[in-house]
Chains A and B, each alone.
Chain A
Amino acid sequence: MPYIEVNQQRQPTNQLLLPLIELVKQRGLHPDKALKGTKLFYDDLKKQGHSSSFKHLIQVLQNITHHHLGQDVSFVLGQHMLHNISAQYAPYLFHCTNLKSLLVTCNQLQNCLFPYFNARMFRKSQTLHFVLNPAISEIPAFANKFLLEVWLSMVCGFLKWRLPDTSIAFQLPFPEPEYAEQYRAFCHQPLSFSQHFAGFVVQRTMMNSLQTGAIEALKAPLCQLQVLPQPGFLAHIENYLIAHPKASQDDLANYLNISTATLKRKLALHNSQFGYVKDRLLSQKAVFCIQEQGYSNAQVARLLHFNDLPNFRRTFKRWLGITPSELRKV
């Protein structure tokens, strides 16, 4: 299969799960309690080349949220991941001369660096907008927040270290939490909460920001990586639906070489539905067109292949809970 499913044990355990277990162990939670319900044993996790599934990770996150281990666990874990990734992928990342080159490399390596999110890009004359969607399976709200904090801490840590003069605006889909000081301490970039989608905005002028100590000649080509990991199931179907916006459920099933009934079962296994994935992609495009490009309702409806304007307004209200004109006012 050209994609990773939610219960396939293909994620290297030492990337996120093992550091998480070690961190909560340091904070007084027994590893067996953290691993409850995963059918994994702590000693096995430490074996070389051990892999675990995304389902295991979600189960562990669910287990640890019942314990008060401090509000900085996700942020500290992000710093730990930054060190791991820096050690593993330094030849590819550290010699990207500027932010543009770094973003291109990160896009190619996204399944290695942080395989839980899939970045979708929207272009504007002055800015680039990236939206983060779940890559493997739909993520429960508590785990989505945790993983976003890990990702944010990791990315901001990298920027502070390697591109200290770069400013990137991050958008988070939840309200400002009570422990906002953790965000202020770990993320030195502009943050905005309660947004429709998770993502970040890069000014095109920032694209030429130079990375400290980067030498282009020393950058390792990506072909040196023996096998690039495959994308997650949702990322795989989203990439297809972005390329084929008019595709039906049957078209997608044909593309995946499975029956429509199997596709439905697979989507249900990943806590999703065909309509839900398609709605998300369309709503993201609609929000970008309205908020950033100032398109009229008629223009957006035409772009998204809606037959009539009232239908578009109604659907938009169903997606986001507000009408397009209310979004413009925001």
Chain B
Amino acid sequence: MLGLQLAGGPRVRSAETAGPDLPFPLIERFETYGAAEGLPGHKIQCVTRASDGRLWVGTYEGAAVRENGRFHLISTNAGLSHRMVMCLVEDPRRGDLWLGTMRGLNRYSAGRITTYTQTDSGLPNNVIYGLAIMNDSLWVATAAGLGMLELKTGSWKIYDHNNTVMHEPWVYAVKSAGDRLFVGVWGGGILEFEPANGIFKEHRDPDRDMHFDLTPDDGPVSDVTSWIAWDAGILWQSTYFGLSRYDGSRWRTWQEKKSPLPSNFVNFVWARGPVAWVGTDRGLAVTDGSIWANYRTTDQGTGMLEIAAPGRPVENRRMTTALPNNFIHGIWVDDHEAWLATADGLAHAFLAAPRTAGKAGDAKTNPATPSFGRN
């Protein structure tokens, strides 16, 4: 029996040993948090750790913040505009946490929630999929365009198919990338926006085929962007038809069966240095584009780790702990831990110390990840 239930605490599963030399750390073990541990619901949509150390979790039944080992519920009774929390972002300058929900935007500032809806503010639409902070601006990916709230003035701007090259207004993700933004549009690929000069650049799948990546590496794998991530100059795109990477000049694409990517149905991607943490409907994949570590839970509840490296046979390891669910909605990772929002609980993944030279999360100290070509 892999799971060990501890009274009053998370379900602790036995630890794993670290893997071989890899460009990213492996997960040693998982702990799972659910309603029994104080989370408001078992369907976890998003998770992030704020700069003050507090862990924020968005669920289908409200948000929760973990302080001193305990979750505190933030519900509609506390002023949250809707129970389904879709996305989270911290404003590092103010320490506020912004929560996007299925009906409105929420600003959590030192215990107080201020809501913004499409009827009482300039928010483009109440359905919010993604959030990003860029200096003193909040960018909001909504079902009807990209909104920008100037935090100092309270003014809103909207970018949609009426005033940009946006193919359609269903914006799923937005990510701040230094002096520019990347905007993930469901069905419209990715927009690259430079606020300083107001220029939008469109990144579309050249073959325009939603399901098949007819010409690999020619651009985004699909226009159906489900999420985007950016770090260290590398953009990652998750789609429901595969995974893409863009380093500013070249695109790389991955699809299941043609690569170790466990599923084309990719919900989420988190970038840390050159490594992507990829949430799919069949578990978690961690990759730098060549080496893959895929985590999943078998039907029997066993945790499995599959390591695929170019020129080496795929290595399968059995883990003593497992993901609570293979459907990954959201990810947050640093050097020591990962938090995974799944369809049935929140997983806390403990990372083994990386054995490779260089520091994970710092692309400059680890510039040359081994390239093994496509499988």
Partners in one complex: no
Residues of B that sit less than 8 Å from A by CB: none
